Amino acid sequence: MPENSDPTGRSPETHVIDFRAAEQLLAARDPRGAVKLLDGVIAAHPENTAARLLRARAFFAAAQLRPAELEFSIVLEREPDNAYAHFALARTYERQARREEAKRHFRLAAALDPNPQYLKAADFDS
């Protein structure tokens, strides 16, 4: 294989197209279709945090909570100050009835970004 060849056999442009198509599928409420497209993108570019975040969102939307949790966690390993990823991971924990873990990440999200939705979910008064 040439040095810069993609293990999936697809061009970088194709991965960009797949990423954009996955965004559209998720918006159209087809999270499983989005995951399928993103699997190839991530196989070729495992370091791509944006693709991992989008795949995490798709897993969450498909109620595949363990894979969503894993992807959100990978994003947070790379970007610990990503308020959205903390919030989304908290929602993932919440849906699994893991309240203490959810509360921690809701509060981290709110501390990183005073978004009203994050502040409400953080429930600092309790």
SS (H, E, C) 66-98: HHHHHHHHHHHHHCCCCHHHHHHHHHHHHHCCC
Instruction: Give the residue carrying structure tokens 């599928």.
Output: 25
Contact criterion met (CB below 8 Å) for 23 and 54: yes
pTM of the model: 0.89
pLDDT tens sequence for the chain (126 residues) = 234 456 667 787 899 999 999 999 999 999 999 999 999 999 999 999 999 999 999 999 999 999 999 999 999 999 999 999 999 999 999 999 999 999 999 999 999 999 999 999 999 887
CB atoms within 10 A of CB 96: 14
The C-alpha atoms of residue 121 and residue 119 are separated, in whole angstroms, by 5
CB atoms within 10 A of CB 19: 21
- Residue 126 tokens read as 């309790």
